[in-house]
Amino acid sequence: SPSWAEADSLFSLSVESENLQKQIDELASFSDTPAPSVTRILYTDKDVTARRYVKNLMGLAGLSVREDAVGNIFGRWEGLEPELPAVATGSHMDAIPYSGKYDGVVGVLGAIEAINVLRRLGFKPKRSLEIIVFTSEEPTRFGISCLGSRLMAGSEALLKALETTIDNQNISFVDAAKSAGYAQDPVDITSVFLKKGAYAGFVELHIEQGPILEEEGVSIGIVTAIAAPASIKVDFEGSGGHAGAVLMPYRNDAGLAAAELALAVEKHVLESGSIDTVGTVGILQLHPGAINSIPSKSHLEIDTRDIDEERRNVVMEKIRQSAIRIAKDRGVKLAEFKIVNQDPPALSDESVIRAMESASKDLKLSHKLMISRAYHDSLFMARVSPMGMIFIPCYKGYSHKPEEHSSIQDITNGVKVLALTLAKLSLK
Ligand code: GLV
Ligand code: MN
Ligand code: MN
Ligand code: MN
């Protein structure tokens, strides 16, 4: 008797907001940089501590917890018909260097609270409900974004790449995973792959990371599509030498090649003519990094995205052509031009969109359809499950910096929409 669906029960969807805020603050304290910044990198002590914290909360919410070989965490609430494909929700809790408290975390702690909300209501799911905490949505440590969800979606290319993937301290992926208690012998990373049809639906709650909802005073964003991300690593090599003794005509400066390529990235992005095309050089390293030494090596990492995949691919090809030309003109070697990922966009599923819309309406929350310019684990979950995302406003659209903030009222609204959406999907 799903009396929960009646209007009276909807008004009693009771989110324990104060407690949720306390958990968000507590999780933020597991950081390698001082507050208000948060830095939580894959498989570090802080990451392991955060995992323990969240697994404990999942246990308290009555979920049965398991982890896969790379540390994706699953918390399951068994439904009345446990043989049916489950409905899942979740996000990540790794945090890039000097970022904020809310990216990913709202979709993890908020999901646990959504389950608690449904339990307090006496709701009985038909399909099982599962929370997934994804390993390494952020590419910080190994340069690979959405590592956990990409693997879950069955990426053979990633499986292969992980055999030789190392971090910048030359620690291999497998050794790092082992140090955090994962990838135990015999290491079988294919076990992370999801079986086809494992989930009937996947919904991720996330801060918008853009300014639209706040600017327009709208409570809930219903994501219809996720923009297509790509990333490239480039290395230039020159002869280096003494900054005083080597005269300008005799130089082949790898640093200047990198600088020129960074400007070329901006130029090619702007040439697309669309406001939706973006490109960023977020990593630029010079070797040996001494004021009186001409850079003999340079390393760039380039992020480019668009809602239009083909247009993004044109930009990538132009960047490649520029890298070749710059190397030639400057007499440096283009030692590496590696496309790390070149992902297509993802579309949300109609039925999940309808469930999110109807939940927002039931709760009398203003909502609008929008696209996600950031990527999320949902980009990969869409390959194996009908997918949808719920956005909430965040202060000035700030994200990936310490000033990132969402009000507890907005988070509470998001948790309610998530709870009701999960309930609806679980009864289908
Ligand atoms: C996710 O963190 C992204 O960079 O979009
Ligand atoms: Mn992020
Ligand atoms: Mn995120
Ligand atoms: Mn490199």
**Whole-complex ipTM:** 0.92
Report the distance separating Cα 279 and Cα 120, nearest Å.
46
Q: Could you tell which of 376, 379, 394, 404 is best to mutate to test the pocket of ligand 1, judged by most ligand atoms within 8 Å of the CB?
A: 376
Amino acid sitting at position 255: G
Answer whether 134 contacts ligand 1 (Cβ < 6 A).
no
The token pair at 159 is 């499986």
Nearest ligand, measured from the Cα of 300: 4
Quote the pLDDT of residue 196. 83
Nearest ligand, measured from the Cα of 374: 1
**128 phi and psi, to 5 degrees?**
-60, 150
Please report the atom of ligand 1 found closest to the CA of residue 209.
5
Q: Which of 216, 186, 177 is nearest to 42 (CA)?
A: 177
Taking only the tens place, the pLDDT of each residue in 136-183 is: 999 999 999 999 999 999 999 999 999 999 999 999 999 999 999 999
Specify the residue with its C-alpha closest to ligand 1, atom 2. 138
Please report the atom of ligand 1 found closest to the CA of residue 104.
2
Please report the atom of ligand 1 found closest to the CA of residue 374.
5
pTM of the shown model? 0.96
Q: Where are the domains of the chain?
A: 3-227+345-427, 229-342
**111 phi and psi, to 5 degrees?**
-70, -40
Quote the pLDDT of residue 8. 58
Report the distance separating Cα 290 and Cα 294, nearest Å.
8
Neighbouring residues of the ion ligand 3, judged by CB less than 5 Å: 103-104
The rounded Å distance from CA 28 to ligand 2 centre is: 14
Nearest ligand, measured from the Cα of 100: 2
Task: Give the containing element (helix H, strand E) for 352.
Answer: helix 350-362
The rounded Å distance from CA 374 to ligand 1 centre is: 5
If you write DSSP's letter for every residue of 104-125 in order, what string do you get?
THHHHHHHHHHHHHHHHTT---
pLDDT < 70: residue spans in the chain:
1-11
Q: Which of 248, 256, 247, 339 is nearest to 297 (CA)?
A: 256
Answer whether 375 contacts ligand 1 (Cβ < 6 A).
yes
Quote the pLDDT of residue 12. 76
Please report the atom of ligand 1 found closest to the CA of residue 229.
5
CB 372 within 8 A of CB 227: yes
- CATH topology for 229-342 is Alpha-Beta Plaits (3.30.70)
3-state helix, strand, coil in the chain (%, to 5): 40, 25, 35
The rounded Å distance from CA 79 to ligand 3 centre is: 28
Quote the pLDDT of residue 7. 54
Quote the pLDDT of residue 424. 97
Nearest ligand, measured from the Cα of 229: 1
Quote the pLDDT of residue 6. 58
CB 90 within 8 A of CB 132: yes
Answer whether 303 contacts ligand 1 (Cβ < 6 A).
no
CB 291 within 8 A of CB 241: no
Report the CATH number of the 3-227+345-427 domain: 3.40.630.10
The rounded Å distance from CA 417 to ligand 4 centre is: 43
Specify the residue with its C-alpha closest to ligand 1, atom 5. 374
Quote the pLDDT of residue 1. 41
Please report the atom of ligand 1 found closest to the CA of residue 399.
2
Q: Could you tell which of 94, 209, 398 is best to mutate to test the pocket of ligand 1, judged by most ligand atoms within 8 Å of the CB?
A: 209
CB 179 within 8 A of CB 388: no
The rounded Å distance from CA 334 to ligand 4 centre is: 11
The rounded Å distance from CA 228 to ligand 1 centre is: 11
Quote the pLDDT of residue 34. 98
Nearest ligand, measured from the Cα of 104: 3
Report the distance separating Cα 207 and Cα 188, nearest Å.
34
